[in-house]
Chain A
Amino acid sequence: MEVMRRVTIFVDGRPHSVLDDQNLLQACLSAGLDLPYFCWHPALGSVGACRQCAVKLFRDASDRRGRIVMACMTPAADSTRISIDDAEAREFRARVIEWLMINHPHDCPVCDEGGECHLQDMTVMTGHVRRRYRGLKRTFENQDLGPFINHEMNRCIQCYRCVRFYRDFAGDRDFDAFSLRNQVYFGRQQDGTLESEFSGNLVEVCPTGVFTDKSFKEHYTRKWDLQTAPSICVHCGLGCNTIPGERYGLLRRIRNRYNGEVNGYFLCDRGRYGYGFVNGAQRIRAPLLRRELGGPAAPVERQEALARIAAWMADGARVVAIGSPRASLEANFALRALVGPAHFYGGMSAAESRLTALIAQILQRGPAPAASLQEAAEADAVLVLGEDVTNSAPMLALSLRQAVRRQPMAAARGIPPWDDHAMRQVTQGQRGPLFLATLAATRLEDVARETLRAAPADIARLGFAVAHALDADAPSADVDAPAHALAGRIAAALLAAGQPLVVAGMSCGSEDMIRAAADVAWALRRAGRPARLAFVVPECDSLGAALMTDRNPGLPQDGADLLLVMENDLYRRADTDTVDSLLGSARHVVLIDHTAHATAAAADAVLPAATFAEATGTLVNNEGRAQRYFRVFAAAGDVQESWRWIHDIAAAAGRTRDAPWTRLDDVTAACATAIPPLRRIVEAAPGAAFRIAGQKIPREPPRYSGRTAMHAQVDVDEPKPPDDPDTPLAFSMEGYAGRPPSPLIPYFWSPGWNSVQAVNKFQEEIAGPLAGGDPGVRLMAPSSGTAPPAYFREVPPAFARRDGHWLAVPLHHIFGSDELSTRSPPVASLAAQPYAALNPDDAAELGLNGGDLLHVQLRGISHRLPLRFEPALPKGLLGLPAGMDGLAGIPLPDWVRVAKAEAP
């Protein structure tokens, strides 16, 4: 990679210092200047299609005439002289927008893009105010693109951003540009759900209202009317940054929050559309208490519920608590403090505890550090062991799709990376090395150099063989000849790379795979390569929970006198019998959670917890980055943060000193002090006392409407806005109007920039870090100088089929495997349904046909599941959907028996 230099360009006579790896458009925007554009996108590069970014370029200081060039297609070389303000350039841009608007429908009032429309912004910026064209407008029919995206083709300005994102960036094929001249059509060959897991990004990529959020349309609100706060996605372990928006007490949508090191400009569809559970009918909104044994749990006053729980805790009752890897660090810590570390369980299954602890240990130990999503996208050779990343950590798949372009791009000398069209012409779809070793077919195979589908043990063995090929000191795996050859090719590719990356994770439930990945990375480090590791973890705070529960892995053996469960459905952590007996052994079970599930049904008392949108807290993502999420709105009624319930329980039981905190900062600080690996979590974001010019940061934009009418039907006297003692943000439109520090940005907006592209004004360099540095703090940053530790030496034996038995393995689904997003209606409508997958040869051996029902014997319980043929699944394996209700608690892989079931 060439080193960036700072150079000086002159814009309208004024010097600006810019980076020379940028084009002039990017440079002008980085310098804070306004220049209209459409087809250029910071993540997609330039193609020069829209002609909107025209500027005057001068040969030298003496050149008075100059010529019009497209800023996005011209490199920012030293001493370049341009003019944005030049009359001819201005006229040129005004004409271009007038042409673009000729066919534009009169739709703004009913267009969901209105008020955050890049086309509106650019039209205003160029000064085009009056329609002169009197002819007929061209029109299009729309398509039904599924539950995520609404299509309104009339509004298209033919900038080609959508296809470039969908096909070139995200790599899917079922969307394209059709037809010709002024009739170019952007859509699918025919109506149907978009196949890409990243289709939701079209909403933000398209500068107009052609693609809008269909779930948002159900409860549409303008951007200026949404109350927003910086937040973190809770639907997988990657911790993408989001901006959820609320109005009238309903969570309305999720938007991307730029973080240069994590998710950049994009989100996956699980993260964007999984928010429905917050508004869902299954929400627990009031304290529930079971008054008599076997009776139903009924809503009660909070005081009564707390008094009853306090009574259960009284007089030396043995209390055991189970936290959760989907709850904040603060909530887990408060619970741990209440019952004492000896009685606190992190809330993961035994297998999850082992795997997360191993991952945390490897990342803390070094020298191979965790790769952020951005670092993964910059890797130039990648080995994936066992993870179907598109389904288990979706945004990592998008990063890997960019990673495979690094080597060809580096080889294309003389072409700047932003010159997208030229770069794609030169690289011609060539790809750098990406090796996938997975259980079954994955969605990344089209860009992989080589693919191996194998049983978990064989994938781990391949990993060990690669490590051995890199370093003869690493344990030898004695794999068969084809695997040996493959391992050799992988090792050679990784060794030749500048930034090699090894991806592994918890999806297959295999410690061997994680160890093998660590061995490969360490072998590369020994060879002097800056190898990184990306471990996929299942939940938003899996690593945080691992760092907190050093003592008690898995679930407790018995429920003691009082079992306190927090934000956790235990039936997803162990099989039904185990959980039944655990819950049955407790005299009383108390659950603090926001969504009803099987554990809630079994609890004697349930306290309503806040979801991510109604709470503030800290989460640790898969790379050990602690990130703070903030309350978007104040929940109604008794709903409050789990740690506040724990404080209330402690107070009711007369044990306030065990959980004395009443403000979040105090919990966070106590947690950081008590648990050394979490020492730096207080730095994740400024504390509640932070003020700018003595003011809080408003969650509502200055144009927020309806303040004196939205509650008037209830009480004509406007209520005081809720207080927020936990954060420097206010539930108000009043407060500091400037640019807040990066972890506290509630929405991206700047005068004249109403669309998502206002983020330009918040970055140090366009597509670089946010001003002041990207939010979040990495807790596990081993010094890369440390010597690699001794290799893991336990190589598992090769997979061998067993007669009459199948090895059941989990297959992950972006829609269906995650507990919470599956409760969101648009996600639920696409969620995978339960099945049992077999290789067709195995099925034939059993005499099974497609559509048959199978009896799968899992831990003594028989499950009836429809058979699905999975030709890519190795023989001897049985694929089961991961995380699905009813199957989620069964630890996999496990040997099972299979029989044909009679149709009901």
Chain B
Amino acid sequence: MWSSLKTLWTIFLHIFRRRETIQYPEQRPSIPPRWRGRIVLTRDPDGAERCVACYLCAAACPPDCISLQATEDEHGRRYPAFFRINFSRCIFCGYCEEACPTYAIQLTPDFEMGEYQRHNLVYEKEDLLINGPGKYPGYNFYRVAGLAIGGKGKGEAENEAPPTDPRSLMP
């Protein structure tokens, strides 16, 4: 009895509080940029796909809802042949983003992903890839890595000396 009255009183006090409920969807909520919503694959500053198909996001994913296959272009640049996220399993934990060594995979503030058919929640690379670098504008993995790709030979990455000549005996 006493507890019910106390509850009623508490609720009554809420009348004088600031209103939190908004008239969604007419009114849009403001979502912080670090919100963990719909996952995207970003591009590096040169506009090329950032994902190098390292499989780390897939390994980190607790419900195992990321699957991909690595492939290479003719110059040795590695990228995913396919990249699939089953959002009907995703728990939006953000572990994939945390695991990603290239800033390719990022969670965005978009949460409006409702679907009537579960299979519509299966996103392929075409659905995931966006046109910009997302939250991390400057980073370009292949400029840092030692692997040669088209347009970047050995010794041309950041902090690299030119390739040595194994035939030279000069000190």
A705 touches B59 (CB 8 A): yes
CA A715 – CA B119 in complex, angstroms? Answer: 7
Q: How far is the CB of B42 from chain A (nearest CB, A)?
A: 15
A138 touches B69 (CB 8 A): no
Hey, which chain B residues are within 8 Å of A713, CB to CB? 84, 122, 124
| Among listed B10-18, B23-31, B130-138, B154-162, interface-contacting one | B154-162
Q: How far is the CB of A178 from chain B (nearest CB, A)?
A: 4
B164 touches A139 (CB 8 A): yes
Q: Say yes or no: is A799 at the interface (Cβ < 8 Å to chain B).
A: no
Given contacts A109-B56, A137-B160, contact A185 B102 (CB under 8 A): no
B67 touches A185 (CB 8 A): no
Contact with A along B130-148 (1 / 0, CB 8 A): 0000000000010011111
A705 touches B163 (CB 8 A): no
Most buried by B among A139, A140, A219, A225: A139
CA A219 – CA B144 in complex, angstroms? Answer: 25
A709 touches B64 (CB 8 A): yes
Q: Say yes or no: is B55 at the interface (Cβ < 8 Å to chain A).
A: yes
Contact with A along B69-87 (1 / 0, CB 8 A): 1101000001000001110
A109 touches B122 (CB 8 A): no
Q: Say yes or no: is B171 at the interface (Cβ < 8 Å to chain A).
A: yes
Q: How far is the CB of B55 from chain A (nearest CB, A)?
A: 5
Q: Say yes or no: is A217 at the interface (Cβ < 8 Å to chain B).
A: yes
Chain A residue at minimal CB-CB distance from B166: A185
B164 touches A185 (CB 8 A): yes
Q: Which of A106, A114, A220, A716 sits near B122, CB closer than 8 Å?
A: A716
CA A181 – CA B169 in complex, angstroms? Answer: 10
The count of residues in chain B whose C-beta lies closer than 8 Å to any C-beta of chain A is 51
CA A178 – CA B166 in complex, angstroms? Answer: 6
CA A138 – CA B163 in complex, angstroms? Answer: 7
A708 touches B101 (CB 8 A): no
Hey, which chain B residues are within 8 Å of A105, CB to CB? 145-147, 157
Q: Say yes or no: is A154 at the interface (Cβ < 8 Å to chain B).
A: yes
B54 touches A109 (CB 8 A): yes
B59 touches A139 (CB 8 A): no
CA A108 – CA B102 in complex, angstroms? Answer: 11
Q: Say yes or no: is B167 at the interface (Cβ < 8 Å to chain A).
A: yes
A712 touches B84 (CB 8 A): yes
A179 touches B54 (CB 8 A): no
CA A710 – CA B160 in complex, angstroms? Answer: 39
Hey, which chain A residues are within 8 Å of B154, CB to CB? 139-142, 154
Hey, which chain A residues are within 8 Å of B122, CB to CB? 709, 712-713, 716
A705 touches B84 (CB 8 A): no
Hey, which chain A residues are within 8 Å of B146, CB to CB? 105-107, 137, 139, 152, 154-155
Chain A residue at minimal CB-CB distance from B72: A217
CA A529 – CA B113 in complex, angstroms? Answer: 79
Contact with B along A101-127 (1 / 0, CB 8 A): 000011111100011000000000000
Contact residues, B90-139 vs A (CB, 8 A): 101-102, 118-119, 121-122, 124
Contact with A along B30-68 (1 / 0, CB 8 A): 000000000000000000000011111011010111111
A705 touches B159 (CB 8 A): no
B101 touches A179 (CB 8 A): no
CA A221 – CA B167 in complex, angstroms? Answer: 36
A716 touches B121 (CB 8 A): yes
Q: How far is the CB of A401 from chain B (nearest CB, A)?
A: 28
Q: Which of B72, B101, B155, B166 sits near A109, CB closer than 8 Å?
A: B101
CA A183 – CA B168 in complex, angstroms? Answer: 10
Hey, which chain B residues are within 8 Å of A114, CB to CB? 54
CA A248 – CA B85 in complex, angstroms? Answer: 16
CA A219 – CA B78 in complex, angstroms? Answer: 11
Q: Say yes or no: is A859 at the interface (Cβ < 8 Å to chain B).
A: no
CA A703 – CA B157 in complex, angstroms? Answer: 32
Q: Say yes or no: is A707 at the interface (Cβ < 8 Å to chain B).
A: yes
B118 touches A716 (CB 8 A): yes
B161 touches A706 (CB 8 A): no
Hey, which chain B residues are within 8 Å of A142, CB to CB? 148, 154
Query: What is the predominant secondary structure among interface residues of chain B facing chain A?
Result: loop
Hey, which chain A residues are within 8 Å of B56, CB to CB? 109
Most buried by B among A110, A140, A248, A715: A110
Q: Which of B69, B119, B163 sits near A140, CB closer than 8 Å?
A: B163
CA A716 – CA B122 in complex, angstroms? Answer: 8
Q: Say yes or no: is A790 at the interface (Cβ < 8 Å to chain B).
A: no
B89 touches A708 (CB 8 A): yes
CA A248 – CA B58 in complex, angstroms? Answer: 15
B55 touches A709 (CB 8 A): no
Q: Say yes or no: is A895 at the interface (Cβ < 8 Å to chain B).
A: no
A707 touches B162 (CB 8 A): no
CA A135 – CA B160 in complex, angstroms? Answer: 8
B54 touches A716 (CB 8 A): no
Hey, which chain A residues are within 8 Å of B54, CB to CB? 108-110, 114
Q: Which of B88, B157, B168 sits near A179, CB closer than 8 Å?
A: B168
CA A58 – CA B85 in complex, angstroms? Answer: 56
CA A221 – CA B85 in complex, angstroms? Answer: 17
Q: Say yes or no: is A180 at the interface (Cβ < 8 Å to chain B).
A: yes
Q: How far is the CB of B39 from chain A (nearest CB, A)?
A: 12
CA A716 – CA B86 in complex, angstroms? Answer: 8
Q: How far is the CB of B91 from chain A (nearest CB, A)?
A: 11
Hey, which chain B residues are within 8 Å of A135, CB to CB? 159
A180 touches B58 (CB 8 A): no
CA A704 – CA B60 in complex, angstroms? Answer: 10
Chain A residue at minimal CB-CB distance from B161: A136
Q: Which of A140, A141, A220, A709 sits near B66, CB closer than 8 Å?
A: A709
Q: Say yes or no: is A187 at the interface (Cβ < 8 Å to chain B).
A: yes
CA A181 – CA B121 in complex, angstroms? Answer: 56
Given contacts A708-B86, A709-B86, A716-B119, contact A179 B166 (CB under 8 A): yes
Q: Say yes or no: is A224 at the interface (Cβ < 8 Å to chain B).
A: yes
Chain B residue at minimal CB-CB distance from A250: B69
A138 touches B161 (CB 8 A): yes
Q: How far is the CB of A395 from chain B (nearest CB, A)?
A: 31
Contact residues, A200-221 vs B (CB, 8 A): 217, 219-221
A108 touches B72 (CB 8 A): no
A705 touches B166 (CB 8 A): no
Hey, which chain A residues are within 8 Å of B85, CB to CB? 709
A137 touches B66 (CB 8 A): no
Q: Say yes or no: is A222 at the interface (Cβ < 8 Å to chain B).
A: yes
A139 touches B160 (CB 8 A): yes
Given contacts A703-B59, A707-B64, contact A110 B69 (CB under 8 A): no
Given contacts A107-B146, A181-B171, A705-B67, contact A138 B164 (CB under 8 A): yes
CA A721 – CA B52 in complex, angstroms? Answer: 29
Contact with B along A686-719 (1 / 0, CB 8 A): 0000000000000000011111111011011000
CA A225 – CA B69 in complex, angstroms? Answer: 11
A708 touches B147 (CB 8 A): no
CA A715 – CA B55 in complex, angstroms? Answer: 22
CA A853 – CA B66 in complex, angstroms? Answer: 58
Q: Which of B58, B101, B148, B166 sits near A706, CB closer than 8 Å?
A: B58
Given contacts A225-B58, A713-B84, contact A248 B52 (CB under 8 A): no
Q: How far is the CB of B151 from chain A (nearest CB, A)?
A: 16
Chain A residue at minimal CB-CB distance from B70: A220
Hey, which chain A residues are within 8 Å of B78, CB to CB? 110, 220
Across the A-B interface, give the 6 residue pairs with the lowest CB-CB distance, nearest first: A105-B146, A706-B67, A109-B54, A185-B166, A705-B58, A709-B67
CB-defined A-B contacts under 8 Å, sample of 27: A105-B146, A105-B157, A109-B101, A110-B78, A115-B55, A135-B159, A136-B161, A139-B154, A139-B160, A140-B166, A178-B166, A179-B165, A179-B168, A181-B171, A225-B58, A225-B59, A703-B59, A705-B58, A706-B65, A708-B63, A708-B86, A709-B64, A712-B65, A712-B119, A712-B122, A716-B88, A716-B118
Known: A109-B145, A187-B166. 18 other contacts (CB 8 A): A105-B157, A106-B144, A107-B146, A107-B147, A109-B56, A110-B78, A136-B159, A137-B160, A139-B160, A139-B162, A139-B163, A179-B165, A220-B70, A703-B59, A708-B64, A709-B66, A712-B65, A716-B119
